[in-house]
Structure 1
């Protein structure tokens, strides 16, 4: 039997606060009542402590923290190190695919390991000029990217 993870809702956070703090139920008991794993409840309590007077869990700040984390995770930059970006750019220009680059970068101990999917996301989001070096240039993805060189009439040069 496989379980599927889903984030806690605001309602579940309110019930967690009520049962854990006011009714003094254990983490395992709260997990059973919410039909969640006890480790999910434990992580929620640790991750979302709010320093009001005493560091404790409150549902509304926990929901705000969750919403901020969801917004911020989309903004994270792939290939954080400049050396990794340079390595990927150089190898793409040599004709290497992102899959090959990701496989070979593991052997270079000075660079952080990176997946081929992170390389694709980096190219499409941060360096669209590198799309031309991909074997398949994914025309559907390129439709959303503006041409780099345009004259005043809007035509490609």
Structure 2
């Protein structure tokens, strides 16, 4: 039976350097280390310096060279086809989780983990010193971690305000479609905003560029977005405590408000806005953004696979809900 070959350790390489420096022959070194002479000869020939350092065997250099020869690069560096699939998804605004999950859904098996994608992107940021790599990530963060947020609450100015604690359990668990959340995306230019309406179960999201954030026009815009929906898909809307939502009672459906200083309680729309920031950063001048562009951004978001939907898209999920709703209301009553 042939002998199982093991890589030389750093300690063995240090011993090779010491014995070689003292004038020992290759066979003497091999005998001292209980190695084959061919292994020692190959080690010295492969890892001996060149130029002024010719003939000098450096154990740390040899160890580093061995590691470099054995390393084949990150998976996305080695697999060009998979790398292009991943980067194509990221360019569309999908997160690494969404890219990973969608590939698993389409292939019927795990293809690549989201952590592998994150590490690849952050490795490129560090290796290339090119900040453009961060724009492959939904929130374009150069470093991983959470950021703190501060805010106020004029809750006492909102009449007929009902707290979130009274919202039905179906809305909290997302088991029943028709419960919505609404908020405004704000921009650097004062007065510019986009109204965002988000359905909690399917994650479908609508965007409307608005000329004002006054309460009555805001309620009218929200009413227009909800008007065409079946009644069962208009259960409730949840807001933060901004006075722009003070006319909530005119919508004709149940409305609920987050606790003061807790806008995170309407986490669905907060998350959606964070993702949409990739397409509409805060510094965007909405005067240069056409209504068609706003629609395209909404379509991109609604056609992005979501982990919470088993990597189906919000558009697919809402289409199924809407189809079921139409089927259930069009069935003939028993005669």
Higher Rg: 2
Q: Which structure has more RCO (C-alpha within 8 Å, separation ≥ 6)?
A: 2
